[in-house]
Amino acid sequence: MPGLGDYHMHLVSDETRAPLPYAPQRVERYVEAAFGAGVEEIGITEHSFRFAEFRASMAPLWEEGTGQDPQVRAWLEHEFEEPLERYVGAVRRAMERGLPVRLGIEVDYVPGAEEAIRQALEGVPWDYVMGSVHFVDGMCVDCDPAIGWPGADVDRVWLRYYELMGQAARSGLFDVLSHPDLPKKFGMRPVRFPEESFERFLQAARGAGTAVEINTAGLRKPAHEIYPARSLLSRMVAAGLDVHLGSDAHSPEQIGAGFEQAIAWAREAGVRRLVRWQSRKRRYQPL
């Protein structure tokens, strides 16, 4: 897909977990894979929970007794090992070599931790900051469905999810919000869609100027559908929200995956332009 940017990907995969691959050579491999997929620019968005500087931004998930599953709490308590500068340095060195790379990060939004997020982001020359809601009232909606979901009120999870997405937008911390109907990942869909909560989210994102993402990872998940659903994307576009494309790749081979379908999806939903990022400013590409 010539001329496109892919603005959601991670240098860490299951195969490269130890040691963490924060080196220009790893970034170069991603660039090469992107060119092979017809993607001309990539944005690296490592998860914030990889880095020591973000521990305080997620500490409420295991410190406040929010009902988090013990397996998830144990996982989180043993993350936050890497210094942020190692990651930032690797991406910046790749950029200095002239590679078409943008420096991003995917930050978990946890209500009440806004100041901790702000402090962790300070002083870094981000091209864009992406916010995500992976946790709803302490439950990990992005984790194995055996954890949490079997006993959950699915309709309430969806309602709270969009309340949290609205809070994330209003925080002003994020340039873009990722996979904006994530709770469907494992096929958990509401009987009654939370219309009012979703509308408040749209208003918050529009008011804050926060973009949203068309994320193709849903095609690789049990939902078998791009995030967000086309009907929801149409409403986001009608509300005036900008969009970017992201594969949510966790390996070079996934870069640009599903983009042909995403472009068709976007056009059907009324998208006329895509966002590209630089120094937390938007550049627009006609679709």
**CATH number of the domain where residue 81 is located:** 3.20.20.140
Cβ proximity of 71 and 95 under 8 Å:
no
Measured between alpha carbons, how far is 103 from 111 in angstroms, rounded to an integer?
25
User: How many residues in the chain?
Assistant: 287
b/e 71-91 (16+ beta carbons within 10 angstroms → b): ebbeebeebbebebeebbebb
> What is the predicted pLDDT for the residue at 104?
98
- Going by their DSSP bridges, the two strands 176-177 and 139-140 should be labelled as unpaired
* Structure-block tokens of residue 164: 């949290």
- 148 compared with 107, residue with greater pLDDT: 107
* Structure-block tokens of residue 198: 């979703």
Please count the structural domains in the chain: 1
pLDDT tens digits for 13-65?
A: 755 554 557 888 899 999 999 999 999 999 999 999 999 999 999 988 877 65
pLDDT tens digits for 152-198?
A: 899 999 999 999 999 999 999 999 999 999 999 999 999 999 999 99
Measured between alpha carbons, how far is 284 from 161 in angstroms, rounded to an integer?
29
pLDDT tens digits for 90-130?
A: 999 999 999 999 999 999 999 999 999 999 999 999 999 99
* Structure-block tokens of residue 174: 């994020």
- Per the structure, the complete domain to which residue 143 belongs is given by 4-286
Alpha carbon separation from 175 to 45, 131, 249 (Å, rounded):
13, 8, 20
